[in-house]
């Protein structure tokens, strides 16, 4: 159980550290970083919330970091300390993991129910566009221009008011039946196809997984919002990369036309062109003022992202080393040893928390060397003679 608690704690600390760094540099990043870089930082945080980088790193310094000694017995007074600490740790671990499991299961069940409702809404309100239709031909030419070979469906949907991309395994671009006067369909389709090419829908689903695992952490919800916003900004940036200023203005007019259109279908499982008024205003500003990032800024940004990742790994590593370790097996053996000290043999197994300098002759040289290393790391303490 302790391993699960340690893993959960290190993951949430690592991810939260990256999110905090992201928020701290926000005033600077908004001014100097492109939308793609902003989006990349968000995706980095998602990785730290789900992948145990610290566990991989901990393999290299020592293969014996489980804090278990297997040689001559230590006096029973040390075992009294171990037993009391383990009882508290084991009880706390069980309670925390039980609460976390219930919260995660409820979150997963909720998202599954919402997804089923979403799929039902889409199926009941969509009509596939035939390949002979002019719109489909435009759609197909956009696919070829972007180098997309995977089969993607194109459909009209009467419940949506803005274009959207849905479906992880069977992607579909949905178009509203009623089109605005100032909508450039070519730009709209290109926008949704770039979402597909960038795997933005998968990233959005990944963010929901993070929320399900870290439902107790408010910073995880901040990250999901960041991912949702900057996935759109990043997509805009890719759409306009080769456009003239006049074309950018035309694209901005297309976005403005979506301003008052509120999607009728829940957007947690899709990516769409529209957004809130505040975000759309920011998008328009970025569209018209988009400039090529200088090489120096790109280098500094890369170094900054690496530094943020390093801070996340270091912080989670420090946390993992300070989480108490306990297990039912260790407690059981400690009880037996306390009841009958004579049963403490060289093959006994228990957690070592303190030693005296005079205990050196009780251990093999290699075990004593490992103990000294743990003392330097603060994992074992010196006991007064």
Q: What is the 3-state secondary structure (H, E, C) of 254-294?
A: HHHHCCCCCCCCCCCCEEECCCCHHHHHHHHHHHHHCCCCC
Separation CA 162–CA 185 (nearest Å): 11
What sign for the dihedral angle of Cα 251, 253, 256, 262? negative
Task: Please give the backbone phi and psi of residue 293, each rounded to the nearest 5 degrees, phi first.
Answer: -70, 135
Q: Under 8 Å CB-to-CB from 346, ≥6 apart: which residues?
A: 70, 71, 72
pLDDT digits (tens, 9 = 90+) for 11-46: 998 899 889 988 988 888 888 788 888 899 899 999
Low-confidence ranges of the chain (pLDDT < 70): 1-2, 54-90, 180-182, 258-268, 272-281, 288-295, 297-298, 316-317, 319-351, 385
Q: Of 262, 89, 275, 16, which is closest to residue 161 (Cα–Cα)?
A: 262
Backbone Cα Rg of the chain: 28
- Tell the residue number behind the tokens 């976005």, with chain if given: 255
Q: Tokens standing for 223? A: 């990250």
Contact 341, 322 (CB under 8 A): no
Q: Tokens standing for 195? A: 């979402």
Contact 146, 197 (CB under 8 A): yes
β-bridge mates for residue 156, sequence order: 127, 175
Provide the CA 76 distance to its chain's centre, in angstroms. Answer: 45
Q: What is the 3-state secondary structure (H, E, C) of the chain?
A: CHHHHHHHHHHHHHHHHHHHHHHHCHHHHHHHCCHHHHHHHHHHHHHHHHCCHHHHHHHCCCCCCCCEECCCCCCHHHHHHHHHHHHHHHHHHHHHHHHHHHHHHHHHHHHHHHHHHHHHHHHHHEEECCCCCHHHHHHHHHHHHHCCCCCCEEEEECCCCCCEEECCCCCEEEEECCCCCCCCHHHHHHHHHHHHHCCHHHHHHHHHHHHHHCCCCHHHHHHHHHHHHHHHHHHHHHHCCCCCHHHHHHHHHHHHHCCCCCCCCCCCCEEECCCCHHHHHHHHHHHHHCCCCCHHHHHHHHHHHHHHHHHHHHHHHHHHHCCCCCCHHHHHHHHHHHHCHHHCCCCCCEECCEECHHHHHHCCHHHHHHHHHHHHCCCCEECCC
Separation CA 203–CA 87 (nearest Å): 41
The whole-number pLDDT of residue 73 equals 45
Q: Tokens standing for 85? A: 């600490």
pTM above 0.85, yes or no: no
Domain boundaries, the chain: 2-104+300-382, 129-290
* Burial letters 88-115, b for 16+ CB under 10 A, else e: ebbeebeebeeebeeebeebbeebeeee
């Amino acid at each position: 159980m302790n391993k699960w608690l340690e893993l959960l704690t290190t993951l949430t600390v690592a991810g939260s550290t990256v999110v905090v760094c992201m928020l701290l540099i926000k005033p600077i990043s908004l001014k100097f970083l492109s939308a793609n870089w902003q989006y990349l930082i968000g995706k980095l945080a998602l990785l730290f919330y789900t992948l145990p980088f610290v566990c991989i790193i901990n393999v290299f310094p020592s293969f014996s970091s489980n804090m278990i000694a297997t040689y001559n017995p230590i006096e029973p007074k040390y075992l009294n300390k171990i037993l009391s600490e383990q009882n508290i740790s084991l009880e706390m671990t069980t309670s925390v993991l039980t609460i976390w499991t219930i919260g995660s299961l409820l979150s997963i069940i909720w998202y599954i129910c919402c997804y089923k409702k979403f799929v039902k809404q889409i199926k009941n309100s969509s009509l596939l566009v035939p390949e002979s239709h002019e719109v489909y031909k435009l759609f197909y030419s956009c696919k070829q221009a972007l180098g997309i070979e995977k089969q993607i469906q194109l459909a009209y949907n009467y419940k949506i008011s803005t274009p959207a991309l849905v479906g992880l395994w069977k992607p579909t671009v949905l178009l509203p039946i009623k089109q605005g006067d100032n909508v450039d369909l070519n730009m709209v389709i290109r926008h949704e196809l770039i979402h597909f090419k960038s795997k933005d829908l998968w990233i959005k689903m990944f963010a929901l997984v993070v929320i399900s695992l870290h439902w107790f952490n408010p910073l995880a919800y901040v990250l999901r919002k960041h991912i949702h916003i900057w996935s759109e900004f990043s997509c805009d940036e890719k759409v306009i990369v080769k456009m003239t200023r006049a074309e950018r203005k035309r694209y901005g007019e297309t976005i403005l036309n979506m301003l008052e259109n509120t999607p009728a279908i829940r957007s947690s499982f899709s990516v769409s062109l529209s957004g809130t008024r505040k975000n759309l205003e920011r998008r328009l500003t970025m569209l018209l003022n988009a400039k090529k990032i200088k090489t120096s800024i790109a280098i500094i940004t890369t170094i900054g992202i690496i530094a943020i990742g390093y801070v996340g790994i270091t912080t989670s590593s420090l946390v993992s080393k300070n989480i108490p370790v306990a297990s039912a097996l260790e407690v059981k053996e400690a009880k037996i040893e306390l009841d009958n000290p004579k049963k403490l043999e060289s093959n006994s197994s228990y957690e070592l928390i303190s030693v005296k300098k005079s205990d050196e002759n009780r251990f093999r040289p290699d075990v004593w060397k490992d103990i000294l290393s743990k003392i330097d790391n603060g994992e074992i303490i010196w006991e007064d003679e």
